[in-house]
Amino acid sequence: MKLIPAIDILDGKCVRLTKGDYTTQKVYNTNPVEVAKEFEANGIRFLHLVDLDGAKSKHIVNYKVLENIAQATSLQIDFGGGIKSNEDVKIAFESGANQLTGGSIAVQEPALFLSWLEQYGPERILLGADANQRMIATHGWLATSGIDVVDFIRSFEQKGIQSVVCTDISKDGMLQGPSLDLYKEIMQETGVQLIASGGVSSIDDLQQLKELGCSGAIIGKAIYEGRITLNELSKLC
């Protein structure tokens, strides 16, 4: 299972939110590149980079942060937030992203999202399935659709998606454990490679996700709050 620390960018700073609420932002570092380099120094190979400004603005904003991290490290970067156009995709890949995760765009303009999947392939285009009470959320989690998360994932699997980043918003930033029952259901109902996101609070949580069969786990606040140390993660890499 891939261990994937997250860096969420707001106003160019490394922050964390609780349940996606922008009013709960807590700044952990004003230099995201320093954070990324520390991850790499501890044996981490993957990074989930989220452009929170972009998610709200509906276009990529923090591509310079992406570019700086890509130039300063050899981390494999999955980038998301504000990717809404062909130009956004081009900018993100040219700035150093290895993969892109599209969520809102897959809901609002599925044909456009699927054109990226066809052009770049399922290894580089991931589906973002962010759910609140099982319903897919969009626009930086500020809006909720009426689409069930399992149905959503299944429909895109049928169209060629292989990897899905799934966040249970009710768990995000709460440090109360991941949504194991939901992930188990997704694994039973689909054949996607599931990257779990939200709620990871301990090494034990990571072990449970691994035993469940998840292909990856995104770790955010647990690292920044010292619940999981980089030394502990390095031993699992």
Q: Which residues are catalytic?
A: 8, 130
Under a CB-based contact definition with an 8 Å cutoff, are residues 52 and 15 in contact? yes
Please tell me the total number of residues recorded for the chain in this structure: 237
3-state secondary structure the chain: CEEEEEEEEECCEEEEEECCEEEEEEEEECCHHHHHHHHHHCCCCEEEEEEHHHHHHCCCCCHHHHHHHHHHCCCEEEEECCCCCHHHHHHHHHCCCCEEEECHHHHHCHHHHHHHHHHHCCCCEEEEEEEECCEEEECCCCEEEEEEHHHHHHHHHCCCCCEEEEEECCCCCCCCCCCHHHHHHHHHHCCCEEEEECCCCCHHHHHHHHHHCCCEEEECHHHHCCCCCHHHHHHHC
